[in-house]
Amino acid sequence: MTSKKPALPQLSKESLEKHLLPELYQWALSHGLLVYKPETPQTQTAMVALTTYPTPVPRACFESAQEVQVPFNELYARISSSDWLYKETKLLSASDEDFTGKLFAIQLKLDEFATTVSKDVIQPLRLGIFRSDYIVDKNSNSIKQVEFNTVSVSFSGFSGKVAALHQTLDSKGLYQEESNRTPFFQPNYEIPVSFPSAGFAKAMEVALSKYDTPNDRANLVVAFIVQRGERNVFDQKCIENELWENHGIKTVRLNFDDVLTELKLDANSNRLYMKHTGQEVGLVYYRTGYTTSDYEIEKDWDARFFLEKSYAIKAPDLMTQLSGAKKVQQLLTDDTILTKFVKDEHVKDQLKETFVKIFPLDDTPLGEEGKRLAMESPHNYVLKPQREGGGNNIYKEDIPGFLRGLDKDQWNGYILMELIDSDATEGNIICNGDSTFAVPILSELGVYGTVLFDHDSNILYNESPGWLLRSKFGDSNEGGVAAGFGCLDSVVLY
Amino acid sequence: MTSKKPALPQLSKESLEKHLLPELYQWALSHGLLVYKPETPQTQTAMVALTTYPTPVPRACFESAQEVQVPFNELYARISSSDWLYKETKLLSASDEDFTGKLFAIQLKLDEFATTVSKDVIQPLRLGIFRSDYIVDKNSNSIKQVEFNTVSVSFSGFSGKVAALHQTLDSKGLYQEESNRTPFFQPNYEIPVSFPSAGFAKAMEVALSKYDTPNDRANLVVAFIVQRGERNVFDQKCIENELWENHGIKTVRLNFDDVLTELKLDANSNRLYMKHTGQEVGLVYYRTGYTTSDYEIEKDWDARFFLEKSYAIKAPDLMTQLSGAKKVQQLLTDDTILTKFVKDEHVKDQLKETFVKIFPLDDTPLGEEGKRLAMESPHNYVLKPQREGGGNNIYKEDIPGFLRGLDKDQWNGYILMELIDSDATEGNIICNGDSTFAVPILSELGVYGTVLFDHDSNILYNESPGWLLRSKFGDSNEGGVAAGFGCLDSVVLY
Ligand SMILES: Nc1ncnc2c1ncn2[C@@H]1O[C@H](COP(=O)(O)OP(=O)(O)OP(=O)(O)O)[C@@H](O)[C@H]1O
Ligand SMILES: Nc1ncnc2c1ncn2[C@@H]1O[C@H](COP(=O)(O)OP(=O)(O)OP(=O)(O)O)[C@@H](O)[C@H]1O
Ligand SMILES: [Mg+2]
Ligand SMILES: [Mg+2]
Ligand SMILES: [Mg+2]
Ligand SMILES: [Mg+2]
């Protein structure tokens, strides 16, 4: 092992096109790195966008990102069940009526519902399936947190496959010219592989095992709540396959329409059942519901309420989802607030090490500073609303004009975040569809977390089952793979 | 376990289309049951054609087909290295100039070559990778052999996946209506799973381990000789993946052009090397070269000669390929000939049990009978030339006219085979592309064999690593999946 940053292969066009890419394509397709293309039949698929080579990441950064995951899981578990979050979300609802407001309205209905039923039909457990995203800051050479995702985190199934693909291509000597079919990176440099989807399945299995039921446990199912016309099916399928093949747990896939037509709540027990099969849903796992466009029709909000009020464990429940708000991330940079939830000073320092400056845009002194910075030095900042799913942020010079176009009372719904400055990687090649792009890329490291906890913040299970590297064109501001801006990558450590 | 033939599920349209098929498609695609469609980019693929349910096969038939495989392997190993085959092939060359003739011409050149070099640069080992195909005869309720394939047998990689798919769908209760999500077949009926591609890889590993080399063994590669524009890549990829993942053995894929440009023979040792990488090819595995159309240009015959003459082990060598001629199959139905190769009476009887009547069309008494039957009762027969790959046979009423259209001296190149009469299975559904076909199907059971032997018929390794079930529309005469006539299926035993 060495600590010099590895160069990337510089293959001739012939080596790339004749030897490396066909092997990469066939490996990827035959190992399930698939996505449905728009408007194609269900029996046809295409390779998901990915890089040709792994991208160098400093080992220290990689390890520190993983070290903080279990503490971050615990932090967000505590926040989720706190009065503090409840109050903050209530405040936020006012300045973000379309999304936070609507979700919080459901929470209010849930609170009301809770007063009308006996306590034992309310599920105390909740499952957090998180991903904390980082960029390696080039000035400090340390990881800085972009955001903490608390709902519908994707690519847990693909992450390990891409790493295994890169490892295989390297081991087979395909990263070298033909004259030298030896590994390019290994064994000097490690290409680590993790299988977060296996960890997700394990966490779900643990959750189900703690779910009490008078019925046959073998009949419990996990309901994957998915988008209509979802194209990223195969990533989700990895979790379903793990659940079935390693744990014998069945899954069903339901969109919000199906939720209202195919599920029913038992009037007495408040348990969730599949109407036609009679199977009890022990766990509701959301792969939709995280963005306004997921609620296409008014009834979709009813579907969400229906699921939330059931006795099934939710992954995540509403408040856990809301804990991932950008606003919460901003508030946690305030030491007084962080201290409420993290008692251990050393751990707190570790978490704080990953924070960059985030400002509110309200009437507090910090908010006033935020407003000033947004107007006077926007090039160092990104402006974020309370949204998920990419494509919502306002960058740099666009910020002042954007803010001026808003009513001042909406400013509170945004946070102003320092831009993390990272070194672009030269020499990697993005495969997207049948095209390749040899352009500088920027990478984002995501670390997955799974945590089972109850509404008193007791933690029953807390793991970090792996990571993800995604990369995007160096000149694109957004990094969502599904949104088409980025692609899957893997890590080569140095 | 019960011995009553199981019915197949009779699902409502809704259950089929809404629940079963999406799961089937996604499982199949994410587990690599793929084929390249014509004219699509290398990064896009489609599901291979397959049945929705497994097809009932009597356990006794299934077991007896497997029992005879190791003896059949041995039989064909003996035949391949016999003077008898050499003489018969020579005779056959005259009446089949286009294919047998051309292959045998290469054999003659090889013989000549052998006289010019020292014996130790001629490879004594050969690897047979076979598949014996059967149809369950409805009159005797026993298996009858359709043909014995000695070259480029396909679907070893897909066979196990389709069985695992059917097993999974059944276990998940998707073969039932929604009101009853329990298995339809299991545990009363078994859906067995075999992984022949793992067995192929094992046999290749054994072959390589017996291949002597002065070079670094870790650098030995297996060369897959493939068709130009091969679309059935993913089935072959399964063997490549097994070789790499379980045995650390590298593979290269070469078409006949590549053979002449990318390989070289060492003048002294006659060893085969990759020109640019310097890797030694220890084993040549043919997935092309079995049909006239595989030799698109004259140079392709040179490529074949080049490979055959090398010191690499061939899977199969020319004579082993030629042992799979329909003519040989016909001759083996003659007890005197079979007795030359099979000494054990009991084994001989077992093999003979699988034979139907096959006639030559020559001037022997049996040949005269064949000619008479061909003209007088053609509806009981199929006429076969010395060809592989499907689409070459002449059926029933078409036989007399076809024969009359030939020169009499070409008749010798054909054999007349009794048709095996099997019960069509009703109720299965073929998924081909995005269409489904609920039509009666006919099924063919293939049993794979792997045998390593030398030119003195010493047998070093002999295994039967699994099976394949293929089905086709009941009204189609041919069953080639790749040719579009048929599809992959699996077995449910009773
Ligand atoms: N502080 C930052 N510094 C540099 N780049 C950033 C920063 N914040 C966000 N970005 C870039 O913008 C992208 C989107 O931001 P973010 O992840 O916060 O939004 P999102 O809407 O939650 O998207 P998603 O949940 O789909 O990842 C990030 O992936 C990253 O590429
Ligand atoms: N004796 C027979 N009785 C019934 N059907 C037969 C018989 N012989 C052949 N068939 C049918 O014709 C198909 C093709 O025959 P056969 O397999 O002998 O030809 P082939 O050209 O070697 O094809 P391939 O090697 O691609 O399977 C078989 O799969 C089977 O469906
Ligand atoms: Mg993000
Ligand atoms: Mg996000
Ligand atoms: Mg055949
Ligand atoms: Mg054949």
What average pLDDT does the segment A223-236 reach?
A: 97
A288 is in an annotated binding site: yes
Distance from C-alpha of A279 to C-alpha of A217, rounded to nearest angstrom: 10
Task: Flag whether B189 is in a domain.
Answer: yes
Give chain A's mean pLDDT.
95
User: Does the beta-carbon distance from B29 to A34 stay under 8 Å?
Assistant: yes
User: Does the beta-carbon distance from A26 to B244 stay under 8 Å?
Assistant: no
Alpha-carbon separation of residue A52 from A32, A180, A473, B238 (angstroms): 17, 18, 14, 22
What average pLDDT does the segment B280-300 reach?
A: 97
User: Does the beta-carbon distance from B45 to A42 stay under 8 Å?
Assistant: no
Question: Which of A268-272, B175-179, B484-488 is predicted least confidently?
Answer: B484-488
Question: By the CB < 8 Å criterion, does B26 face chain A?
Answer: yes
Q: Give A3's pLDDT tier (boundaries 50, 70, 90).
A: confident
Residue A388, token pair as written in the block: 């998920």
A420 lines ligand 1 (CB under 6 A): yes
Residue B363: Cβ within 10 Å count: 12
User: Does the beta-carbon distance from B25 to A31 stay under 8 Å?
Assistant: no
What digits encode the pLDDT tens for the residues A361-419?
999 999 999 999 999 999 999 999 999 888 899 999 999 999 999 998 889 999 999 99
Distance from C-alpha of A402 to C-alpha of A411, rounded to nearest angstrom: 10
Q: Which residue has the tokens 């699902």?
A: B11
Q: Which of B25, B45, B180 sits opposite A29 (nearest CB)?
A: B45
Distance from C-alpha of B282 to C-alpha of B231, rounded to nearest angstrom: 26
Strand B281-286, strand B55-57: pairing:
unpaired
What average pLDDT does the segment A30-36 reach?
A: 97
Interface with chain B: mutation pick from A26, A171, A251, A254, highest number of B CBs within 10 Å: A26
By C-alpha distance, the chain B residue nearest A252 is B19
Task: Flag whether B452 is in a domain.
Answer: yes
DSSP per position, B131-159: EEEEEEETTTTEEEEEEEE-S----HHHH
Question: By the CB < 8 Å criterion, does B25 face chain A?
Answer: yes
User: Does the beta-carbon distance from B172 to A434 stay under 8 Å?
Assistant: no
**Dihedral (Cα; B41, B47, B48, B50), 10-degree rounding:** -170
Express as a percent the part of chain B with pLDDT over 90: 94
pLDDT of residue B173: 96
User: Does the beta-carbon distance from A41 to B433 stay under 8 Å?
Assistant: yes
pLDDT of residue A391: 86
Residues A154 and A232 sit within 8 Å (Cβ to Cβ) = yes
pLDDT of residue B483: 46
Complex ipTM: 0.95
Q: How far is A171 from chain B (nearest CA, A)?
A: 9
Distance of CA B447 to the CA centre of its chain: 9
Q: Which of B32, B42, B253 sits opposite A30 (nearest CB)?
A: B32
User: Does the beta-carbon distance from A178 to B43 stay under 8 Å?
Assistant: no
Task: Flag whether B431 is in a domain.
Answer: no
Interface with chain B: mutation pick from A21, A29, A236, highest number of B CBs within 10 Å: A29
Residue A477 has pLDDT above 90, yes or no: no
Q: Give A482's pLDDT tier (boundaries 50, 70, 90).
A: very low
A390 lines ligand 1 (CB under 6 A): yes
Residue A286 has pLDDT above 80, yes or no: yes
What digits encode the pLDDT tens for the residues B12-38?
999 999 999 999 999 999 999 999 999
Task: Flag whether B368 is in a domain.
Answer: no
Q: Which of B26, B168, B434 sits opposite A237 (nearest CB)?
A: B26
Beta bridge partners, A56, equal A492
Domain housing B124: 13-356+442-493
Nearest CA to ligand 2 atom 23: B390
Residue B482 has pLDDT above 90, yes or no: no
Task: Flag whether B241 is in a domain.
Answer: yes
Q: Which of B32, B238, B434 sits opposite A42 (nearest CB)?
A: B434
A167 lines ligand 1 (CB under 6 A): no
Q: Which residue has the tokens 């005197």?
A: B336
Question: By the CB < 8 Å criterion, does A228 face chain B?
Answer: no
Question: By the CB < 8 Å criterion, does A250 face chain B?
Answer: yes
What digits encode the pLDDT tens for the residues A92-117?
999 899 999 999 999 999 999 999 99
pLDDT of residue A256: 98
pLDDT of residue A476: 65
User: Does the beta-carbon distance from B42 to A434 stay under 8 Å?
Assistant: yes
CA of A44 to the centre of ligand 5 (A): 28
CA of A153 to the centre of ligand 2 (A): 51
What digits encode the pLDDT tens for the residues B329-386?
999 999 999 999 999 999 999 999 999 999 999 999 999 999 999 999 999 999 999 9
List helix spans (H) across B17-143. 21-30, 59-67, 69-80, 83-95, 102-116
Residue B484 has pLDDT above 70, yes or no: no
Residue A285 has pLDDT above 70, yes or no: yes
User: Does the beta-carbon distance from A279 to B241 stay under 8 Å?
Assistant: no
Which atom of ligand 2 is nearest the CA belonging to B480?
26
Q: Which residue has the tokens 């006289």?
A: B115
Task: Flag whether A366 is in a domain.
Answer: no
Task: Flag whether B361 is in a domain.
Answer: no
User: Does the beta-carbon distance from B431 to A32 stay under 8 Å?
Assistant: no
Task: Flag whether A95 is in a domain.
Answer: yes
Residues 171-200 of B with CB under 8 A from A: 172-173, 178-181
A322 is in an annotated binding site: no
Residues near ligand 2 (Cβ within 6 A): B 135, 146-147, 149, 356, 382, 384, 387-390, 392-393, 417-420, 444, 477-480
pLDDT of residue B458: 97
Closest CA to A58 of A148, A138, A164, A160: A138
Express as a percent the part of chain A with pLDDT over 90: 94
Question: By the CB < 8 Å criterion, does B238 face chain A?
Answer: yes
Residues 409-468 of B with CB under 8 A from A: 431, 433-434
A146 lines ligand 1 (CB under 6 A): yes
By C-alpha distance, the chain A residue nearest B279 is A181
pLDDT of residue B476: 65
What average pLDDT does the segment B230-257 reach?
A: 97
What average pLDDT does the segment A49-53 reach?
A: 98
Query: Considering its fold, how many domains does chain A have in total?
Result: 1
pTM greater than 0.80 = yes
Question: By the CB < 8 Å criterion, does A276 face chain B?
Answer: yes
CA of B23 to the centre of ligand 4 (A): 29
What digits encode the pLDDT tens for the residues B308-319?
999 999 999 999
Residues with Cβ within 5 Å of ion ligand 5? B 147
Residues A55 and A440 sit within 8 Å (Cβ to Cβ) = no
- Chain B residues in contact with A172 by the CB 8 A cut-off are 244, 250
Q: Which ligand is nearest to the CA of B149?
A: 6
Q: Which of A44, A179, A237 sits opposite B277 (nearest CB)?
A: A179
pLDDT of residue A483: 46
User: Does the beta-carbon distance from B42 to A30 stay under 8 Å?
Assistant: no
- Chain A residues in contact with B32 by the CB 8 A cut-off are 29-32
Q: Give A485's pLDDT tier (boundaries 50, 70, 90).
A: low
Give chain B's mean pLDDT.
95
A386 lines ligand 1 (CB under 6 A): no
